[in-house]
Amino acid sequence: MPQEISPIIKPDELIELNQTSELIIIDASNGNGAKENYGDKHLEGALYVDLNTQLANINADVSIGGRHPLPTLEQFSETLTNLGITPASHVVVYDDKNGSNAAARFWWMLKSVGHNKIQVLDGGFQAAIKAGFRTASKIEKPLKKEPYKIENWLLPLADIHEIDKVAQDTDFLVVDVRDEERYNGEKEPIDLVAGHIPGAINIPFTTNLDSNGFFLSPEVLKNNYLKEFGDRAAENVIVHCGSGVTACQTLLAIAYAGLEIPKLYVGSWSEWSRNNRLIATSKKE
């Protein structure tokens, strides 16, 4: 059985590893201008992966699966094949948001198809540059290798029907990782309705990071999450965000803490809020 590696890699560790090992480095930065920014400057050797077209299978109707549904297994297999990733590849993924966005989503997806050597760069793009990792502006070309065969998503998933059943059951815990203002219903900059799933608690993903944007130590993260989870098994904990992307950062933090990875509700608030479900708010007076 292959030895587990840490899901997080520090910038200096990446520099050292890059000198001695054949890596596939992935830039998963997303948002306006992300692909153009990659073309202008990225970590040397990094290939670009697009959240919207490669890490999701976006529907015209957001009420079905939310804003970033998972791609089909066939689509993800094609993406991995085109990136030159094989089951033996050591993959390090980063983004421009301290690893808190699409990098974590890519980590979860690779982990969920049984890939062992997958790590997220702590601190993301800027931290690597600050540590002295070389950058490039040329478009990197992946090596074409054999097809990456995928059989199933292996990490646990929840859907909207499971949320219906368990969100207000105290034997279960639904965790909303969005910012407190969005959870409280004070503002909603992305989706149509503000608020949260009744029964869900709020643990903003930002609380996984220190003031410099690096992940807290595994010991601190473990202590924090055990306090919240109590004696609930991981299968009774469901994590969500707005569209199933940032929630993966919390799942990454939980894995970094050495705890079993809970369920991911991919549809998240973007699906829930569009399906005539009850909506709670916690607006401060």
Residues 42 and 83 in one domain: yes
- Which of 241, 247, 259, 261 is flagged as catalytic? 241
**73 in a domain, yes or no?**
yes
pTM for this one?
0.96
CA dist., res. 8 & res. 119, Å (int): 5
**112 in a domain, yes or no?**
yes
**47 in a domain, yes or no?**
yes
Residues 131 and 170 in one domain: no
Residues 184 and 128 in one domain: no
Mean pLDDT computed over 123-130:
96
Taking only Cα atoms into account, the Rg of the chain, rounded to an integer number of angstroms, comes to: 18
Mean pLDDT computed over 130-143:
91
Residues 188 and 86 in one domain: no
Q: Specify the number of domains making up the chain.
A: 2
**Which pLDDT does position 284 carry in this prediction?**
59
**170 in a domain, yes or no?**
yes
Residues 80 and 189 in one domain: no
Q: Which among 59, 95, 98, 48 has a CA at the least distance from the CA of 208?
A: 98
**151 in a domain, yes or no?**
no
CA dist., res. 193 & res. 59, Å (int): 19
Mean pLDDT computed over 39-63:
96
**285 in a domain, yes or no?**
no
Beta bridge partner(s), residue 42: 136
Structure-token pair, residue 121: 């760069």
CA dist., res. 285 & res. 282, Å (int): 9
Q: Is the pLDDT score of 257 beyond 80?
A: yes
**Which pLDDT does position 194 carry in this prediction?**
95
For the stretch 162-188, pLDDT in tens is 999 999 999 999 999 999 999 999 999
**Which pLDDT does position 3 carry in this prediction?**
57
**Which pLDDT does position 141 carry in this prediction?**
87
Residues 125 and 29 in one domain: yes
**Domain that includes residue 66, residue range:** 8-136
CA dist., res. 194 & res. 91, Å (int): 37
Q: Is the pLDDT score of 1 beyond 50?
A: no
**145 in a domain, yes or no?**
no
Percent of the chain clearing pLDDT 70 (strictly above): 98
Residues 214 and 166 in one domain: yes
**Which pLDDT does position 139 carry in this prediction?**
85
**146 in a domain, yes or no?**
no
For the stretch 178-218, pLDDT in tens is 999 999 999 999 999 999 999 999 999 999 999 999 999 99
For the stretch 14-44, pLDDT in tens is 999 998 888 999 999 998 899 999 999 999 9
Annotation marks residue 241 as catalytic = yes
Residues 28 and 93 in one domain: yes
CATH number of 224's domain:
3.40.250.10
**Which pLDDT does position 285 carry in this prediction?**
47
Mean pLDDT computed over 68-80:
97
Residues 24 and 93 in one domain: yes
Of 105, 136, 167, the last residue of a domain is 136
**Which pLDDT does position 283 carry in this prediction?**
65
